[in-house]
Structure 1
Amino acid sequence: MNFNQLIIILGKQNFKSIAVSCFATFLYTSIGCTEILAQPQKNQLSTTVNATPTAFPLIQNRRVPSILTDKADSEVVTIVANALASDLQLVSGTKPAILNGLNNNEDYLIIAGTIGHSKYIDQLIKSKKINVDAIQNKWETYSISTVSAPIKGVKQALVIAGSDRRGTAYGLFEISKLAEVSPWVWWADVKPKPQKELYVLAGNVVSKEPSVKYRGIFINDEDWGLHPWAAKNMDTDIKDIGPKTYAKVFELLLRLKANLIWPAMHDSTKAFWYYPQNPVVVDKYAIVIGSTHCDMMLRSNTFEWQVGYEQEYGRKPGIYRYDTNKDEVYKYWEDRVNAAKNYEAMYTVGMRGIRDGGITGPETKEGKIALVENIIDDQRSIFKKYFGALSNALQIFCPYKEVLDLYTGGLKVPDDVTLVWTDDNFGYLRQLSNTAEQKRSGSSGIYYHLSYLGGPHDYTWLSSNSPSLIAYEMTKAYQFGADKFWVVNVGDIKPAELETQFFLDMAWDTKKWTPENASEYVYDWAKSTFGEEFATEIALIKNQYYQLAQSGKPEHMGLLKFDAATQKQRLAAYTDLVEKVDQLKTRMPHSLRDSYFQLIEYPSKGAALMNQKIFYAQMSLEATETDKKLALDYSQKAKNALEQIIALTHHYNKEIENGKWDGIITHAPRNLETFAMPNIANPEILSDSLRYPAPFDRRYLEKVITSIDGASSSNIVSLNASDCKTKKEIPSEKIIIVKGLGVGGKSISRYPFTGKSFKNDEYLHAPYVEYEVNLKAGEYKLSLKSLPTDAINNERNLSMAVVVNRGAPLFIDADNSKKNKNWTMSVVRGYFEKVLPFKVEKTGETKIRIYLQDTGLALSRIDIVK
């Protein structure tokens, strides 16, 4: 899309003022929506609605071919074959039969199976009808081929061969994608377009091995969504998250080419292993079962130690403390390993306290380190007993929260155990492997967050971490060796559908989506979800939604203090966003209205209304002394915003899909103050339903007040970091522009992330960017705003050197790893800020050169304040 086309689109939006249009145009161009392009699909079969002599008839006059599998193959193959049959029925109106043997009545067949486990696939290999050399003995790979006369009496077959059971499952679901069935067909009610004819053009596809070996999700903080919904609508017999719910979760994981689950483990939910059918279902779906960073050895301590222990062992437990209660804790762990030994499982080693707390034990760091090392040794003795070789037990160690301090303090972890690094809970990775750690046989992995319950404030309501941010951090992780394990905290799964899919798409192929093109992902996703007709507009909506959230998540608005100019800009931008959502909704086919509401409308409007509620409440108080009528108007607008949030949530739970999602979402997780009605100038207008038991306390805002200075200000010269006049790169590196990242919508960064780190005395050799601006003589402050990232590892810093008009360098450390008030401010407002004084001796052109000494530093905006 070029700029003129964008102007035509913007012209149709009927904006209320030129100012709004200008701000919106700035926002769109900043995040790169003018350059959204469809990503070319490589190594993928193509389809057509017209028959050709060699094309395979996937749907022909609404008829579909049967699906042939071998009963001796893994159970997941039959399960996914049945899911594919249901998908094809949605598209064609006819459900294909699932065959386990030939009936000599089939001109066309879909044949699916695993090499060495399916007699039909093995026969095709033996007869040289298919060649599987490229996938033989590979991890989770598949080939899809159109084959003429594969078996006597059959004219043509579409053959899916998997290198292992998950490879076959992924290959089968690729056929669903060929029929344009979304992975979110059930979880977000994305109904496929009916088709009378659909043919697969002759060809052969061979998948690559996944970039990351183990890829999955963590269901967390499920108390306010997934648990009440599952208890009411799915596992109604146990009124909990159980096998029926997990079957749907596991099917989704296979559709997204994932293979691992950290199951729900909050107080509201009984342990995964409490229900005997849960591990049976996880094995049927070929999903690897693990447990969280605080639940060692596949145990779920919140339930199994505190509640279920007496039922399991017939007595109350002692203290969950290894140095004083070793025998009991050891047996507790050993019993689970014994129960899980025949399942594909991954064990978290080490020890933390119950409920995500620190380990109970010695007071000193040295004492804790010695205890954890002893614990890991004992845990590995259990593995030796039940698995023989230690390599037969998948093991991870997660240096999360206080455990990172123990690890950096000298805690030794066996070389074959996978180190799982974490983000800071807000999307910024805390640490990655250094040179020595990258040589570990166990490699490393990542535990990442799209949802979080904890300080400085939860964000469990909506999902707003952008693909650009995820790509920036996860590409960094992969380049520093994190290729063994990626798991993402998705909260209740909904409404984090898009972001979850992006994370798992990256895990499957890290080269396809990079920081440079991640802002284009939404177009690609929207095209496959809603169709090409709507993809450009949905990309505009979602990227604008992400960009606004970068400067303040909806859940964090109560922590932020914006100036008046920025408040007006945000309100105008959100008004524009809602108008786009509503206009597109009128054109959305009726069959996709509910999915549009879930994936696009609810998060967009929820974020807009939260901003309105907070801002109008603040504005009503400010207007009390000067204009009581205006104060009343603002109070009413704040009240209306909360009422609309409640109404939208009611519609989500009760009205779409005939109440299918009843209980899946709440407008006020944990009933936190930020979701309540703030203080307003005229509280008498509030109905009882809007009065929370604990009234909103303005002192809460004083805990963390951050200030966002509006770029409309006459005292500020604001530059986007990408607007440099000149730049100098170094060999084998480049300075990239990352669209959709950071304040202002663009950031610059060195790439790849493995480039050299330059010490202060080496800064002249580092790549740099230079800016030119006309300034009057005088004293100024230079504000550099960067993404609140941490130094990549202990061998690197996160430094810049700033030189103004060839003066002495000023060195800046932009590392945001210290969890203090500055860290809190940075992650809530979306940027790390460093302010430097400088002086201009002579009116005229001033040159500002910034040397980028380290990788992993994303510079977004440069403000010059008089």
Structure 2
Amino acid sequence: MRTTSAVSHSAIRPVSIVVEPSAFEGVTVVAAKVAADLERITGTAPAVVDAPRAAATPTVVLAATLGRSPLVDELVAAGRLDVADVAGRREVYAVTLVESPFADAPDVERALVVVGSDKRGTIYGLFSLSEQAGVSPLHYWGDVAPQARELVELGETTATREPSVKFRGLFINDEWPCFGTWTSQHFGGFTADMYDHVFELILRLKGNYLWPAMWTSSFALDGPGSLNEELADMYGIVVGASHHEPCLRASEEWDIVRGPDTPYGNEWNYLTNREGLLRYWEDGLKRSGRYEKIVMLGMRGERDSELLGEDAGLQANIDLLKDAITEQRRLVAQHAPGATEMLALYKEVEEYYYGSDTVPGLRGWEGLDGVTLMFCEDNFGFMRSLPATDAERRSAGMYYHFDYHGGPVSYEWMPSTSFERTHDQMSLAFDHGVRDVWVVNLGDLKFNEVPFAFFMAMAYDMDAYGNGTRTAAADFTASWLDATFPAAAPDVRATIGEVLHGYLRLNAMRRPEALNEHVYAAAHFQEADRMLARADAVDAANAAVVAALEALDDDGRTLLAYTSLVGLPARASLNLLRLHVNAAKNAHYARQAKPVANAYAGRVTEAVATDRAIGDEIRELAGGKWTGHEQEAHVGFTGWNEDGSRYPVRHVVEPMGHEPRLSVSRADAVPTYHRQYGRPMEVVVDDFCVAGETAVAIEIANDGVGSLAWTLEGGEDVPWLGVSARSGSAVAQDVVVLTCDRALLSATTQTVRLLVRVGAAQPHQVSTVAVVVSGRAVDTAGLPAGTFLPGRDGVVAIDAQHAAASTSVDGAAFVELPRGGRDGSAMRVLPTTAPAFEVGAPAPTLTYRFLAETTGEYDVDVWQVPTGVVVRGTSLRYTLGGAVVEAVAADVNAGEPGDARWARPVVENIRVTTSRTRFEAGVAELTLGALDPNLVVERIVVRPAGVVLPASALGPRESARVQA
């Protein structure tokens, strides 16, 4: 993965690692881990010794921390080592090659000196040697085995920069049933043996911070005893606690120690049990305050509920919090002096912080001076309020989510937050001054390893991965693939990237738990078929990777790593998508009374079986290493718990009659056409009268029994019309694709009548349906390049990045976010810190050009990534043709499931706002201006007033446009 350091081409082959007796214990332990890493490659572990003389070898690695290394002091004093770029800095390291380094160890010819500015710097430097050698930071969690070879060469690294964010790490949360079952079976609970693997992952990714699991565990007690805290301290891991666990005491501890006859009392109620709670918090600080900690302040109600309940007023809650925080800070100063103190502005605590027009909140209260304010996104990955004053920016954190248990729907199974969303929203937070703490809720951790690695890469180096690098996701992916799958050919690594981002983007379009058979339209815009095609494309790429990796001669190690990190999550996700989309097709065809519905019911049944089989595969992965992680509920959620969830209902159609029966329909519509007597019913295909339309699928189905022999007559001599099949024998359903060669169309409308005939054994059973096809050339002469052309019903659909023109103001301009939308790219204003623009004043704009067929009123739908307001009390607005449109009102309660104005867009991953405007016939221009910079636009749909789009999730494809 990309770093800010540089590795030289001069190298040594280390045969021993020197760690002086004065070194931190954590450095000694990590040196042994690095030795084990090298043993995985060469089969021989370098000796870890406490002095160069003990090495008795010509080459050594010296692991040292400034201020704790007499050897480094000697080298510096002798002018042999320059540490100026390391000294006095935070978590910095350099790796320097020194020839003939030690006077009292003449047999040591060279030393590769890893020197850190502090303990964590030295540890990062040591683990950087493992990465140089080819050991992945995900070697344990992702089952990544390094390539075996006889020799490992290690080189120099220039001094690294200080990390961009001070505290960087993860939250193990929602850990039952998966993580909890796994650690109970393999490690006997939430013990130090398990946390050793978590700490190592954090350090290998150059992090330093943890919120430990908290549903049924107490970090300070489960080590067993204090072993967890002691281990974290040894490694230099800063341990905090979740947003509702104050003063270093886990939520679960309260149930262990509470009681009417205890010093703490029995009520988690600060009004009625103030002294008991203060004693409880004080004892937690006495026990754990001696370690490097971030102490959470404040409190919520028991079990993460509201503090005083719904009936209590704002003032009462604020007064209670002020008193509790004041007392907590007094206890921290007494028992954990120097600790970082933090208040999480999560859920209703955010309301208490900002207050109201009549009730002053905690904001600006001197009792929070010096306290880190942890801001929180809306639980679905979108920022909701960010630091707006210098005081807030001085120490600010962010609680982000890759996993969430709550309303309107939970998502805890497979990764479903795209790299692009993480990049955009965490860059937004960083740009607004959130640079002290980043913690991400990883849920069970397993299967979220790669998104977490990207999150940590950003936190460590925003120069490389921040808003200044629009290709950050692609850059990270390329370097991660090279480092993780070196045995794979370059084209195979590229395909792995396609699988990784392919399944993630499909999951991000609609989180897996929120999928059901009603999401993607079974017919309209052929949406279901498009989604199935996308799933098939990713699945084919996955199969190609598996085949290539199976051919490698490495005992299946690369294949296992791929399966663990990418392949298995991809297959599981794609299967679940197919399950629901095929259920939609099953229900659609059942409503049409077509027995072909039964084939789709069978596909659903197969997907259910595959879903269960993948659970078995997770249980058996890597020899049972991850048993327990197969247990996450993920199908058909109807709320924030799995209560009431189910596999889709499957519909069975019993054919009518005793003979074949004809049923004809458009594949992108619901109505069916069939008649045995009288004038044939007509299927209208007028699509070819509008620009860009070149293909329409017609379904010829048998809704009876037996085999339906059909023929399609007419249009054989029409040069612009193609017909994929003229006859067939449909047991269930055949599909005929009508294609149009638009270059052969004339300017006048041409109509062709195609007859679908079925001849049965008896004349009275002959059925005929007419397919009436019309086509007309569209005259684009004289239209300016970039002009979009109307489709059916005069509708124009424009992807936001295809503006004909744009303007900037004082350096603020719309910039494309590649793959930053739900279904493609998006446009947002950069810099994100640009101020809101005044109505009527210049603002960044995008201008779109389209052909209006008639003069009149039009409805303009602006499809947006559902970002929220980041300045409390403001709205999210844009201008359209000069009129102001409010996309998000100031009173929208982001994160509150009861507010449908927020909940529906984040579940659907799109927000659509509509305004009406008038256009004259001819080439029309539509200008969108950003009044608030957090507007992120994905597409524009222009509809003649009164035209309603068929129900669908993704809407029409982009319209044709005049090319230059």
Deviation at 1:135, TM superposition (A): 1.4
Residues 121-175 of structure 1 show CA distances to partners (whole Å, capped at 9, x for unaligned) of 2222222221111111211111111111111322111110011100100000110
> Aligned residue for 2:441?
489
Correspondence list, 1:416-455, <5 A? 416-438=370-392, 440=394, 443-455=395-407
Give 3-state SS (helix, strand or coil) of 1:296's partner. Answer: coil
**Is 1:214–2:163 an aligned residue pair?**
no
Deviation at 1:559, TM superposition (A): 8.4
Deviation at 1:270, TM superposition (A): 4.3
Give 3-state SS (helix, strand or coil) of 1:680's partner. Answer: coil
> Aligned residue for 1:356?
304
> Aligned residue for 1:45?
7
Identity rate, percent: 28
Structure 1 contact 264–272 (Cα < 8 Å) conserved: no
Q: After the TM superposition, which of the residue ranges 134-143 and 811-820 deviates more from structure 2? A: 811-820
Residues 179-209 of structure 1 show CA distances to partners (whole Å, capped at 9, x for unaligned) of 11110011111111122344345x4410100
Deviation at 1:436, TM superposition (A): 4.3
Cα distance in 1 for partners of 2:792, 2:563 equals 41
Give 3-state SS (helix, strand or coil) of 2:326's partner. Answer: helix
**Is 1:558–2:510 an aligned residue pair?**
no
Cα distance in 1 for partners of 2:208, 2:55 equals 36
Correspondence list, 1:391-540, <5 A? 392-409=338-355, 410-411=361-362, 412=365, 414-438=368-392, 440=394, 443-515=395-467, 516-520=470-474, 521-531=476-486, 533=490, 534-540=492-498
Residues 568-623 of structure 1 show CA distances to partners (whole Å, capped at 9, x for unaligned) of 11111001111110111111142111221121112211221111211222332332
Cα distance in 2 for partners of 1:674, 1:601 equals 30
1:825 to 904, 911, 934: 904
Deviation at 1:542, TM superposition (A): 2.1
Deviation at 1:118, TM superposition (A): 2.0
**Is 1:229–2:178 an aligned residue pair?**
no
Structure 1 contact 91–195 (Cα < 8 Å) conserved: yes
Q: Which amino acid aligns with 2:74?
A: Q
Cα distance in 1 for partners of 2:575, 2:74 equals 61
Cα distance in 1 for partners of 2:595, 2:585 equals 12
> Aligned residue for 1:329?
277
* Number of equivalenced pairs: 769
Q: Which amino acid aligns with 1:774?
A: L
**Structure 2: which 5+ runs fail to align?**
356-360, 635-639, 655-692, 697-790, 945-964
Cα distance in 1 for partners of 2:827, 2:132 equals 37
Residues 63-116 of structure 1 show CA distances to partners (whole Å, capped at 9, x for unaligned) of x42000012211110111011111111112211110112226110000001111
Deviation at 1:641, TM superposition (A): 0.7
> Aligned residue for 1:641?
607
Cα distance in 2 for partners of 1:552, 1:560 equals 12
Structure 1 contact 215–507 (Cα < 8 Å) conserved: yes
1:56 to 1, 11, 15: 11
Q: Which amino acid aligns with 1:402?
A: E
Q: Which amino acid aligns with 1:676?
A: R
Deviation at 1:315, TM superposition (A): 7.8
Residues 499-528 of structure 1 show CA distances to partners (whole Å, capped at 9, x for unaligned) of 111111111111211351133132222222
**Is 1:381–2:326 an aligned residue pair?**
no
Cα distance in 2 for partners of 1:436, 1:396 equals 17
Larger RCO (CA within 8 A; separation ≥ 6): 1
Deviation at 1:628, TM superposition (A): 5.0
Cα distance in 1 for partners of 2:924, 2:431 equals 37
**Structure 1: which 5+ runs fail to align?**
1-38, 48-54, 59-63, 685-710
Q: After the TM superposition, which of the residue ranges 116-125 and 66-75 deviates more from structure 2? A: 116-125
> Aligned residue for 1:663?
628
Q: Write 1 or 2 for the structure with the bigger share of helix.
A: 1
Structure showing greater Rg: 2
Q: Which amino acid aligns with 2:472?
A: A
> Aligned residue for 1:285?
235
Give 3-state SS (helix, strand or coil) of 2:158's partner. Answer: strand
1:569 to 522, 530, 546: 530
Mark the CA change 1:314 to 1:41 in structure 2 (over 3 Å): closer, same or farther.
closer
2:195 to 237, 243, 246: 246
> Aligned residue for 2:883?
809
Structure 1 contact 547–745 (Cα < 8 Å) conserved: no
2:99 to 145, 148, 152: 148
Structure 1 contact 447–489 (Cα < 8 Å) conserved: yes
Deviation at 1:831, TM superposition (A): 1.4
Mark the CA change 1:617 to 1:506 in structure 2 (over 3 Å): closer, same or farther.
same
Give 3-state SS (helix, strand or coil) of 2:515's partner. Answer: helix
Deviation at 1:286, TM superposition (A): 1.2
Mark the CA change 1:549 to 1:560 in structure 2 (over 3 Å): closer, same or farther.
farther
> Aligned residue for 1:50?
none
Cα distance in 1 for partners of 2:461, 2:116 equals 18
2:818 to 723, 739, 756: 739
Structure 1 contact 776–840 (Cα < 8 Å) conserved: no
Deviation at 1:814, TM superposition (A): 4.0
Cα distance in 1 for partners of 2:43, 2:840 equals 70
Cα distance in 1 for partners of 2:915, 2:507 equals 27
Cα distance in 2 for partners of 1:827, 1:865 equals 25
2:650 to 672, 680, 695: 680
Mark the CA change 1:104 to 1:200 in structure 2 (over 3 Å): closer, same or farther.
closer
Deviation at 1:396, TM superposition (A): 0.4
Deviation at 1:675, TM superposition (A): 6.0
Mark the CA change 1:474 to 1:671 in structure 2 (over 3 Å): closer, same or farther.
closer
**Is 1:345–2:293 an aligned residue pair?**
yes
2:249 to 299, 307, 315: 299
**Is 1:71–2:18 an aligned residue pair?**
no
Structure 1 contact 550–742 (Cα < 8 Å) conserved: no
Q: After the TM superposition, which of the residue ranges 453-462 and 823-832 deviates more from structure 2? A: 823-832
1:857 to 926, 935, 947: 935
Residues 409-446 of structure 1 show CA distances to partners (whole Å, capped at 9, x for unaligned) of 01235120000000111000110011344454xx1110
Give 3-state SS (helix, strand or coil) of 1:490's partner. Answer: strand
Cα distance in 1 for partners of 2:869, 2:570 equals 33
Give 3-state SS (helix, strand or coil) of 1:257's partner. Answer: coil
Residues 708-751 of structure 1 show CA distances to partners (whole Å, capped at 9, x for unaligned) of xxx99834422111111111112333432111211331111111
Mark the CA change 1:129 to 1:465 in structure 2 (over 3 Å): closer, same or farther.
same
Cα distance in 2 for partners of 1:672, 1:714 equals 41
Cα distance in 1 for partners of 2:649, 2:805 equals 50
Structure 2 length normalisation: TM-score?
0.77
Cα distance in 1 for partners of 2:264, 2:46 equals 54
Cα distance in 1 for partners of 2:353, 2:129 equals 45
Structure 2 contact 517–648 (Cα < 8 Å) conserved: no
Q: After the TM superposition, which of the residue ranges 666-675 and 215-224 deviates more from structure 2? A: 666-675
> Aligned residue for 2:204?
255
> Aligned residue for 1:367?
316
Structure 1 length normalisation: TM-score?
0.85
Q: Which amino acid aligns with 2:35?
A: A
> Aligned residue for 1:622?
588
Give 3-state SS (helix, strand or coil) of 1:562's partner. Answer: coil
**Is 1:542–2:500 an aligned residue pair?**
yes
Q: After the TM superposition, which of the residue ranges 823-832 and 483-492 deviates more from structure 2? A: 823-832
Deviation at 1:293, TM superposition (A): 0.3
**Is 1:178–2:145 an aligned residue pair?**
no
Deviation at 1:632, TM superposition (A): 1.6
Cα distance in 2 for partners of 1:224, 1:795 equals 39
Cα distance in 1 for partners of 2:430, 2:629 equals 33
Mark the CA change 1:103 to 1:380 in structure 2 (over 3 Å): closer, same or farther.
same
Mark the CA change 1:439 to 1:659 in structure 2 (over 3 Å): closer, same or farther.
closer
Deviation at 1:260, TM superposition (A): 0.8
Give 3-state SS (helix, strand or coil) of 1:561's partner. Answer: coil
Mark the CA change 1:598 to 1:560 in structure 2 (over 3 Å): closer, same or farther.
farther
> Aligned residue for 1:840?
919
Residues 283-337 of structure 1 show CA distances to partners (whole Å, capped at 9, x for unaligned) of 1211011111011111112x211245469x8688411011110111000000010
Q: Which amino acid aligns with 1:561?
A: V
Cα distance in 2 for partners of 1:611, 1:752 equals 36
